[in-house]
Amino acid sequence: MKKTEARTFRSRLREDLKDPEFRAHYREECQALKLAMKITKLREKKGLSQQQLAQLMGTSQQAISRIESGEYEGFTLKTLEKLAEATGTHLKIEFVAA
């Protein structure tokens, strides 16, 4: 009897990334998660709760929760500027070679 090798998440991902459409969606999701994680870490570093950050930005705690979820797609420059102002930071946007 031939023994089959167990598929790992990484091996499945490598296989799926060969599909250009999947790869594009995967990269979008990774970018969204990275931004959400940066925002969460910034808020935590500043010692702010979601409620406190929301008050500083003039929005609701639920909005901050959505922003930090990684599934939020409504980022605008204005939102990011409000976030920077509320946390006493400066917004820096870069374009880097792929």
The model's pLDDT over 37-66, given as tens digits with 9 standing for 90+, comes to 999 999 999 999 999 999 999 999 999 999
The model's pLDDT over 5-19, given as tens digits with 9 standing for 90+, comes to 778 999 999 999 999
Tokens of 38: 């940066």
pLDDT (average), residues 27-45: 95
**Number of structural domains the chain divides into:** 1
In a domain, 75, yes or no: yes
53: domain range?
10-87
Domain at 45, CATH number: 1.10.260.40
In a domain, 60, yes or no: yes
In a domain, 1, yes or no: no
pTM for the full model?
Answer: 0.81
* Average model confidence (pLDDT) across the chain: 93
DSSP secondary structure, 26-47, as one string: HHHHHHHHHHHHHHHHHHHHTT
In a domain, 21, yes or no: yes
In a domain, 16, yes or no: yes
In a domain, 38, yes or no: yes
